[in-house]
Amino acid sequence: MNDADKKRLLREMIFYRRFEDRTFEAYMERKIGGFLHLYSGQEAVATGVLEKAVVGQGEKNDYVITGYRDHIHAIKTGAQPREVMAELFGKETGSSRGRGGSMHIFDASQNFMGGYALVGQPFPLAAGLAMAAKHKGTDQIAICFLGDGANNQGTFHETMNMAKIWNLPVLFVCENNGYAIGTHINRSTAEPDQYKRVAAYKMEASQHDGMDIEIVMEAAEKAIDFVRSGKGPYFIEFMTYRFRGHSMSDAKGYRSREEEAEWEKRDPIKIFSKHLIDAGTVSEKEIKTWEKEIDEDMENNIIKFAEESPEPKVEDLHKYVLDDNPDPRWIGPLQKN
Amino acid sequence: MAEIAYWEAIRRAHDEEMANDKMVIAMGEDIGVAGGTYKATAGLYEKYGEQRIIDTPISENSYTGIGIGASMAGMRPIIEIMSINFALLALDTLINAAAKIRYMSGGQISCPIVMRTPGGTAHQLAAQHSARLARMFMSTSGLRVVTPRGPLDAYGMLKSAVRCNDPVIIIEHEQMYNIKEDIPEEEFFRPLEGAEIVREGSDVTLIGYNFSVHLCLQAALRLEADGISAEVLDLRSLKPLDRESIRKSVEKTHRVVIAEEDEAPVGVGAEIIATVNEECFYALDSQPVRVHAADVPVPYNHTLEKAAIPDVDDVYQGALKALGKI
């Protein structure tokens, strides 16, 4: 990877952190409702994995799907940040037209197939997307990002089994942040090493540091090559940490400040910044300039767009439940005799 | 025209739709090598291969989810659930995903799956193989729910369901797979919406769906022998419901019986009576009558099972009640 790409990636991660921080502020200002799950701390995983996938190229993209902590996965796949922000603000210009909110970002034009609130649900949906890609004969793959907590759902076991017996081109990315909502993995899961759990399904798997984006990219590239070459599914686990609570109403009483401080030393942005500064690729001054540019873009473009966009119309309440323009040959009305 | 059994009609629809569009696949337990529990896919594994007639493990929630995921990327899966009781395992992917994805995504992504499943009592299958559950699917926004009463609809509605862009649940019935009917030999489609008058009458309306349409038709014959003219309305589609056809029939006969094989509380009958009240309350000459199953898990014992499940005589008695004769 050349220096320009490394700098771009660091800037992206700084942008993602700032995006999530800004949604937190908007939530406190009551501009954003519902639940809000922030990705701060885990940026190296989605950024690094998707850097090695086909993203940002519209319908040629790989299929990407995840849980409810989905803003950054959507943006890295190709969704426009201001449309994601408008979605959080519940606006008609949002990526899901204000019908989904934070947990349900969709951008079909970029094959970002959604964020889901049922933690184990994206497993089978991802396998289905992979089945479709295989059936159509494209070389697309499906990439499913989920947390360690999702692996205690039945869909995990059912889907790993079927993905393997049908040799589906799907990459399961486990973002192991150590907590299933507020329960530590050692208290919820008999086998804390998640990658070992798919051995029962004879699936290729590996475990890596999820805080160093260069390690993430190297591991992801191998896994993606494996899947794309038709060798079947792959399960990749990254050890990471979310710096904020599970959602907004989380006092984090289940973990110690010492533990948090230890992980914050391994902040993925700090690690990558230090690496690039030490190598002379980027200067601290340049990073400061980026931060200023990002703040300006956030306020003058992203937040402004979200604030000024219209609400959905109440008369459109029933739109999108079923096909709004169905073919009468299949739907009716029934010819009366 | 050719006489064809209900299961053969389903098989023919699968065959034609799979020949027409290679994005159509079928998935389910024992549907391929074994040919299908009710033979609905017999011979198709040999014709279309294991990539399109997919034998699944016994993992209802996830294979339904895989079908849904495939549908989000342009495929048209026909998902067979061996018994509607097992569909309970698939409710998360069906109701939390398939029924909501179109809405949650602001109309960007459709889930054009078909889920076929027999729902009803047969012969002493006991509580865990006798669920009906139509009422549960009927109450879910984002789904279509249809109940073909015979081969004509079993064939024509399955073909429409495959081509429709919405998730469609087709509720079949163990006791209907061998029902025979003459249907055209050339290709045709039957729309997914719209109730149908299957027997004209003027004194009382008997409303049925799925297997209970046949109970209504037989009860109408007994009523005819008594000099009573019963109209039989097959709902065909439980969601959306054809409120106008219900209103028109009740305005004509002024008396109504709804026959459901399920238990009554919060059921199809309750919804139909609410519809009658909202649409044409003042057309009624007598209070509506619900004929329904006893509110118990279905018993194994033959005598108890018979007592729990409505039959032709129950519908007949219900009609007499609506007519003020008992």
Q: What is the pLDDT of residues A160-182, one digit of tens each?
A: 999 999 999 999 999 999 999 99
Catalytic residue among B129, B173, B214, B292: B129
Residue-wise pLDDT tens digits, A282-329 = 999 999 999 999 999 999 999 999 999 999 999 999 999 999 999 999
Inter-chain residue contact A158 with B62, CB threshold 8 Å: yes
pLDDT band at residue A336, thresholds of 50, 70 and 90?
low
What pLDDT, on the 0 to 100 scale, is given for residue A249? 80
Residue B117 φ then ψ, to 5°: -160, 135
Residue-wise pLDDT tens digits, B233-243 = 999 999 999 99
Closest by CA position to A170, among listed A183, A161, A178, A179: A161
Inter-chain residue contact A129 with B25, CB threshold 8 Å: no
What pLDDT, on the 0 to 100 scale, is given for residue A250? 86
Chain B environment of A117 (Cβ under 8 Å): 96
Per the annotation, the verdict on B60 as an active-site residue is yes
Tell me, what amino acid is at B81?
I
What pLDDT, on the 0 to 100 scale, is given for residue A335? 74
Sheet holding A63-66, edge to edge: A112-115, A63-66, A142-147, A170-176, A234-239, A204-209
Query: Rounded distance, CA A140 to CA B114, Å?
Result: 25
Distance from CA of A218 to the nearest CA of B (A): 29
Q: Is residue A111 within 8 Å of residue A141, measured between CB atoms?
A: no
In degrees, rounded to 5, the angle at the alpha carbon of residue B138 between the alpha carbons of residues B136 and B139 is: 70
Inter-chain residue contact A131 with B102, CB threshold 8 Å: no
Chain B: residue whose CA lies nearest to A130: B70
Inter-chain residue contact A333 with B71, CB threshold 8 Å: no
Query: Rounded distance, CA A169 to CA A156, Å?
Result: 16
| pLDDT beyond 80 at A260 | yes
Catalytic residue among B60, B80, B172, B305: B60
Q: Does A56 touch chain B (CB under 8 A)?
A: no
Q: pTM of the full predicted structure? A: 0.97
DSSP code string of A14-26:
HHHHHHHHHHHHH
What pLDDT, on the 0 to 100 scale, is given for residue A337? 46
Query: Rounded distance, CA B156 to CA A332, Å?
Result: 12
Q: How many CB atoms lie within 10 A of CB B225?
A: 7
Residue-wise pLDDT tens digits, B59-92 = 999 999 999 999 999 999 999 999 999 999 999 9
Q: How many CB atoms lie within 10 A of CB B20?
A: 13
Residue-wise pLDDT tens digits, A58-67 = 999 999 999 9
What pLDDT, on the 0 to 100 scale, is given for residue A246? 87
Q: Does A80 touch chain B (CB under 8 A)?
A: no
Chain B environment of A65 (Cβ under 8 Å): 69
Query: Rounded distance, CA A238 to CA A219, Å?
Result: 10
- Residue B29 exposed, middle or buried by CB count within 10 Å (0-12, 13-18, 19+): buried
E strands within A183-229?
A: 183-184, 204-209
Half-sphere exposure of B85 (CA within 13 A, CB side): 13
Instruction: Decide if the complex's ipTM is over 0.95.
Output: yes
Q: Which residues of chain B have pLDDT under 70?
A: none
